């Protein structure tokens, strides 16, 4: 099996390393549009810009030609889009234009398209209808609680591949389910993708609570009530609420809201410290998807008639219309409710 990963950021590099450790030499290829970046990675034996300290397998191949990265794949191979959500539409369009036969395509990004509130699979479906040339590609989302640094270092991890295609799930498991990584299968794309989007917003809220020294009780309340918001939205959007109790819901929420490697949690901590959002994002050096999709999640909830007070407050804080302190007061001042 051959695997091509598009995007040499932290997550793309980590997953490339995971696959290359166990597949045959030369079977795994990491693409970047920057030949200079790839040359630096090859010289150093690691991606010092995005995944420093992780030694990459010598069997990992590198490619700066987008066309060659796609053309190396057969119908039984795997293409992984490892760009942020903001790059998914453009990347999928380029892939579909070049495809000469059906491909197995998965993506690693989490979030919603801000202008449309579409989930990743809906974005790809849209581009597929426009650019597939009659080919029937298989699609899926690979998601779950995972920090790139730990995956890159080969530490234990469990993820979920969500797809309507059992064959695609098998291919993804063949590529990544080995060593210290387990890959579980699901057919609930809506539940898996919405869990990944909402948990990033909730992680910012948890970071704000920790930054304001509100205590562990407050953190537990944010995570539990946030999970209830996630489940309501998933159900209204056509997914299964029980998916939120798995890896891509509560599992990813716990990790992202409490782990010190979480970029979204660090955004919340910095907001609580009084820093401006542009300053925070400039210092972060990486994409924090919760910042980019908070308003989209809120807009989707409004359109579907779902009450999500924590998410709504985060939208106001991130837009600069509400301070973190006032957001806490507003949440605590809400009328009593039945829990479930």
Count CB atoms within 10 A of the CB of residue 49: 16
The catalytic site residues sit at: 199
Does residue 148 have a known ligand-binding role? yes
Asked if residues 299 and 226 have their Cβ atoms less than 8 Å apart, the reply is no
Asked if residues 289 and 112 have their Cβ atoms less than 8 Å apart, the reply is no
Does residue 312 have a known ligand-binding role? no
CATH number belonging to domain 196-332: 1.10.1040.10
Boundaries of every domain in the chain? 3-187, 196-332
- What CATH class has 3-187? alpha beta
Does residue 53 have a known ligand-binding role? no
User: Over the stretch 51-96, which tens digit does the pLDDT of each residue have?
Assistant: 999 999 999 999 999 999 999 999 999 999 999 999 999 999 999 9
In order of 106, 108, 320, the CA distances from 159 in angstroms are: 13, 11, 34
User: Over the stretch 236-280, which tens digit does the pLDDT of each residue have?
Assistant: 999 999 999 999 999 999 999 999 999 999 999 999 999 999 999
Burial pattern 243-255, b for ≥16 Cβ within 10 A else e, equals bbebbbbbbbbbb
Question: What's the mean pLDDT in 120-141?
Answer: 93
- With pLDDT > 90 as the criterion, what percentage of the chain qualifies? 95
Would the CA dihedral through 282, 287, 290, 293 be positive or negative?
positive
Does residue 275 have a known ligand-binding role? no
Strand-pairing partners, residue 143, are 160
DSSP state of 101: S
């Amino acid at each position: 099996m051959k695997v091509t990963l598009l995007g040499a950021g932290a997550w793309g590099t980590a997953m490339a390393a995971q696959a290359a450790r166990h597949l045959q030499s030369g079977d795994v290829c990491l693409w970047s549009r920057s030949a200079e970046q790839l040359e630096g990675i090859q010289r150093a034996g690691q991606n010092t810009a995005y995944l420093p300290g992780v030694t990459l397998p010598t069997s990992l191949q590198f490619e700066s030609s987008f066309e060659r990265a796609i053309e190396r794949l057969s119908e039984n191979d795997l293409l992984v889009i490892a760009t942020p959500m903001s790059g998914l539409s453009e990347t999928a369009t380029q892939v579909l234009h070049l495809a000469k036969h059906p491909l197995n395509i998965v993506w690693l990004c989490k979030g919603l398209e801000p202008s449309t509130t579409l989930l990743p699979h809906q974005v790809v479906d849209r581009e597929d209808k426009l650019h597939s040339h009659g080919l029937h590609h298989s699609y899926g989302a690979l998601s779950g609680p995972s920090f790139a640094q730990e995956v890159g270092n080969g530490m234990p991890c469990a993820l979920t591949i969500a797809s309507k295609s059992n064959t695609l799930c098998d291919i993804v498991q063949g590529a990544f389910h080995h060593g210290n990584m387990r890959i579980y299968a699901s057919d609930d794309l809506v539940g898996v993708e919405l869990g990944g989007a909402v948990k990033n917003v909730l992680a910012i809220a948890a970071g704000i609570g920790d930054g304001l020294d509100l205590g562990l009780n407050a953190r537990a309340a944010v995570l539990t009530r946030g999970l209830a918001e996630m489940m309501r939205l998933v159900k209204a959007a056509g997914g299964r609420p029980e998916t939120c109790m798995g890896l891509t819901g509560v599992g990813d929420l716990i990790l992202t809201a409490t782990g010190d490697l979480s970029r979204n949690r660090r955004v919340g901590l910095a907001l609580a410290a009084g820093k401006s959002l542009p300053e925070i994002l400039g210092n972060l050096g990486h994409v924090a998807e919760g910042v980019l999709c908070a308003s989209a999640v809120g807009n989707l909830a409004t359109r579907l008639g779902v009450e999500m007070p924590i998410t709504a407050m985060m939208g106001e804080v991130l837009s600069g219309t509400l301070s973190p302190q006032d957001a806490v007061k507003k949440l605590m001042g809400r009328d009593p409710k039945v829990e479930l």
